[in-house]
Structure 1
Amino acid sequence: MKTISKICICFFFVSACFCAQAQNDKALIRQGNNDFKKGSYSEAEIKYRKSLDKDYNPKAQFNLGDALYSQGNYEDAEKNFSELTKRETSKEIESGAYYNLGNTLMAQERYGEAFEAYKNSLKLNPNDEDARYNLEYARWKMIQQQQQNQQQNQQDQQQQEQQQEQQQEQQQEQQQEQQQEQQQQDQQQQDQQQQQQQQQQQQELSKEDAERMLKALENQEKETMEEMNDKKASKMQKRRSLKDW
């Protein structure tokens, strides 16, 4: 089964008519290619960068992107291939740059952007079956990701609604508790007021009772004195009647 990751190392034939500087640059590219085939991707990266420091070469930049990708440095590989697509006029290199740009985007799960990169690669090289396969694969992953995002959004919305319902229930419970507390406080206040009124009434009744008792005693004492005075008066009359002859 064809894999999604097709990393292209460009081996270009070099004519014999070059100056010593150009030969040194190409030698660095060849050394980088050998390191890459051995799996020494960091060493290959160093060789390609040294070659680019001496003079810009699209082949060195292309293979630098491959070395970065193989080390898992997808962000720098993406920048490298993206820059190459903007400055390269060769359809072959530009198509390959778009293809590997698509690979770096796929590795970052940016399937929609990868789809566009593979599409651009196919426009430049319509016969590339690998790019066509990866284009369809990216389309499938993009749809799958959209569905997953939609499901996740629905779950997030449901969770948010549940949280809102819980918050509303909590608020209602808090309101009920506050109402109950307020009712209890009102009842306690009312009971205290009634108790105070009863105590005040009792105090008033006690005062009235005391006044009535005092008045009753005074009346009783007065009646007693009147009785005593009546008795004395009666005795005096009897004595007077005996001496009257």
Structure 2
Amino acid sequence: MKQLLIYIFTIISVTGFSQDKDQEKERLEALKKANNYVYEGNELAVNDDFVSAEMAYRKAISKQPTTVAGAYNLGTSYYNEGSFTEALYRLQQATKSATSKEEKHKAFHNIGNILMKNNQCQEAVDAYKDALRNNPTDDETRYNLALAKKCAEDQKDNQEQQDDNKDDQNKDQDQDQNQDENKDNQDKQNQEEGDNKEDQQDKGDQDKKDGEDEKDDEGKPKEDKQDQGKGEDQEKQQPKPQQGQLSPQQVKNLLEAMNNQEQKVQEKMNAEKQKGVKIQTEKDW
């Protein structure tokens, strides 16, 4: 039984080793083919045959997806052709597959260049910093980092200026809106004052009309008419003389008539006396 277990273990070990050996062989063959395609692509790129070079690099990546050279060279080719979006994607792919600092440095350096082309200055600063972490002695990367920092500062200042201008514009708009609201309120107030004046004028006209209505047909106030009616009522309230008796007013009138008659008689008698005396009208000689 023990010998049987040893035999089975030996078979498994030999089989596992054989499989690992086959997989390593396949990996090496794929890497060799990928390197051949990269070499082919480099030759085509030197001859400015970008389309054929792109196909060769893509074949290299299909044979060995983790090949750094294929992704890096393909990204660099895209960069030279001005296809920055595709170039950025391939170089980022190369940074993930790179195993050496030099490979990472080159990939991050070119990523920084692409970001500068896209005016993504702050992102370029970060890329150049990653490149210097893998190779602090590269003066070209340092120079590009300084340019990226200056660009990022300028963009920040411009953005702040735009924000300030936007705030000022919003402030002016708010001020104009407040002025419009104040104007509307003033117009509303003026309208209300005008309406009040019209109401007061209408009320005054109505009072005047009511005063005129209180006058009678002869233009006299109703109060006078009421007083007149009151006088008439008082006269009505005075006792009327009974039949066969004179009223006080009639007695007064009768005495005045008698006095007038007596005065006329006296005047006539005085005239008769004066008539008997002869008045001398001429002088004697």
TM-score normalised according to structure 1 size: 0.68
Write out per-residue CA displacement over residues 197-239 of structure 1, whole angstroms, 9 at most, x where no aligned residue. Answer: 3333333335795985xx99xx9xxxxxxxxxxxxxxxxxxxx
- In structure 1, the residue matched to 2:5 is none
Amino acid in structure 1 at the alignment position of 2:57 = Y
Distance 1:163 1:40, change over 3 A: farther
Alpha-carbon distance in 1 for matches of 2:149, 2:92: 20
Shift of 1:48: 2.1
Q: With a CA cutoff of 8 Å and minimum separation of 6, indicate the structure with the bigger relative contact order.
A: 1
Structure 2 residue 199 is the aligned partner of structure 1 residue 189: yes
Kept after mapping to 1: 8 A contact 2:41/2:57: yes
Aligned residue for 2:136, secondary structure, equals coil
Alpha-carbon distance in 2 for matches of 1:58, 1:105: 20
Shift of 1:61: 0.7
Aligned residue for 2:206, secondary structure, equals helix
Distance 1:23 1:166, change over 3 A: same
Structure 2 residue 107 is the aligned partner of structure 1 residue 80: no
Aligned residue for 2:119, secondary structure, equals coil
Larger Rg: 2
- In structure 2, the residue matched to 1:237 is none
Aligned residue for 2:137, secondary structure, equals coil
- In structure 1, the residue matched to 2:189 is 179
Kept after mapping to 2: 8 A contact 1:41/1:70: no
Kept after mapping to 1: 8 A contact 2:71/2:93: no
- In structure 1, the residue matched to 2:235 is none
Alpha-carbon distance in 2 for matches of 1:170, 1:97: 59
Aligned residue for 1:101, secondary structure, equals helix
Shift of 1:100: 0.9
Alpha-carbon distance in 1 for matches of 2:91, 2:143: 20
Amino acid in structure 2 at the alignment position of 1:45 = E
Number of positions where the alignment pairs a residue of Structure 1 with one of Structure 2: 200
Let me know the Cα RMSD of the aligned residues.
3.2
**Residue of structure 1 aligned with 2:41, choices 7, 18, 32:** 32
Write out per-residue CA displacement over residues 32-77 of structure 1, whole angstroms, 9 at most, x where no aligned residue. Answer: 3344345454553343223212222111111222233334443343
Alpha-carbon distance in 2 for matches of 1:208, 1:22: 131
Alpha-carbon distance in 1 for matches of 2:45, 2:185: 70
TM-score normalised according to structure 2 size: 0.59
**Residue of structure 2 aligned with 1:55, choices 53, 61, 64:** 64
Q: Percent identity over the alignment?
A: 26
Structure 1 stretches lacking a partner, 5+ long: 1-17, 220-245
Aligned residue for 1:65, secondary structure, equals helix
Structure 2 stretches lacking a partner, 5+ long: 1-26, 233-285
Alpha-carbon distance in 1 for matches of 2:153, 2:78: 28
Kept after mapping to 2: 8 A contact 1:42/1:67: no
